[in-house]
Amino acid sequence: MHFHVLTLFPEMIEQGMNTSIMGRAIERGYISLKATDIRDYAANKHNKVDDTPYGGGAGMVMQAAPVYGAYEAVKEQIGYRPRVIYLTPQGSTFFTAYGGRILQKEQDLVFLCGHYEGIDERVLEEIVTDYVSIGDYVLTGGELPAMVMMDAISRLVPGVLHNEASAEFESFQGNLLEHPHYSRPEVWHEKRVPEVLLSGHHANIEKWRREQSVIRTAERRPDLLEKADLSAKEKALADRCLAEKKLAFTQEV
């Protein structure tokens, strides 16, 4: 997977992505990353890329021409018209399954990061294929959302995670949250690791983990449960948790 980021702050992308697991994945060639500075495509000596909005109002708007220039440079380099994701709070929300679908289809992905009030609509109409938000809040720029997406997509690329299994059983798979984790020591602050995890009995451990997933999802993200594939026993467990949660809430109020 080749990531191309069109941004006014390439150093932010490079610094953010070149550490830890992502840094190692780039170094080993599982993924590649190129940040293109939109300012390099400004047609004035001060490298100015923004201007005031037509119609008035606060803030500045990133102009169409430099954004288009940066896009054309990437297109020319890879030799075809790529999928272009514009990070915007006005897009559909990014979720893990979308990352997986992108991976199956695309070799190159272009992320377009806005700043200030956003980008001139006319260039968006010409180059953007996907409008994606990372949540219902407004950030100062698209760089963090682009890094969030690249991180989530990269984890699905074979070889990026040392232990392939750790990408297999994660929250949101099967619409459940993952079970809790414990490591050494067995007792910490007088809290013992659940006995079953020390038993070495794999079937019981799997059973416990699955139950914990159901309980945790009911407690924290009951909205996911509707689409989860639960057995009758698991459904009853989830219903009990939801009823207890409702009772606790009523007592609090």
Would you say 115 or 209 has its CB closer to ligand SAM?
115
Separation CA 74–CA 81 (nearest Å): 9
Would you say 87 or 214 has its CB closer to ligand SAM?
87
Would you say 134 or 241 has its CB closer to ligand SAM?
134
For 60-114, give the DSSP string. Answer: -EE-HHHHHHHHHHHHHHHTS--EEEEEEEEEEEP-HHHHHHHHHH-SEEEEEE-
* Residues at the site binding ligand SAM, with contacts judged by CB under 6 A: 87-90, 113-115, 117-118, 133-135, 137-142, 145
Cα–Cα nearest to 7, from 98, 81, 16, 100: 16
Helix (H) or strand (E) holding 50: strand 50-51
Q: List residues bridging with 50 in a β-sheet.
A: 62
CB of 20 to ligand SAM, least distance (A): 22
Would you say 1 or 149 has its CB closer to ligand SAM?
149
Per-residue b/e over 180-200, b at no fewer than 16 CB within 10 Å? eeeeeeeeeeeeeeeeebeee
CA distances, 130 to each of 83, 84, 91 (Å): 8, 6, 8
Q: List residues bridging with 215 in a β-sheet.
A: none
Longest pairwise C-alpha distance within the chain: 70
CB of 43 to ligand SAM, least distance (A): 22
Side-chain half-sphere CA neighbours of 175 within 13 A: 10
Would you say 117 or 219 has its CB closer to ligand SAM?
117
Structure letter (DSSP) for residue 161: S
CB of 192 to ligand SAM, least distance (A): 41
CB of 62 to ligand SAM, least distance (A): 8
Would you say 108 or 120 has its CB closer to ligand SAM?
120
Q: Which amino acid is at 205?
A: I
CB of 23 to ligand SAM, least distance (A): 23
CB of 223 to ligand SAM, least distance (A): 19
Would you say 39 or 245 has its CB closer to ligand SAM?
39
Which residue in the shown chain puts its C-beta closest to ligand SAM?
A: 114
CB-CB contact of 38 with 6 (8 Å): yes
CB of 10 to ligand SAM, least distance (A): 15
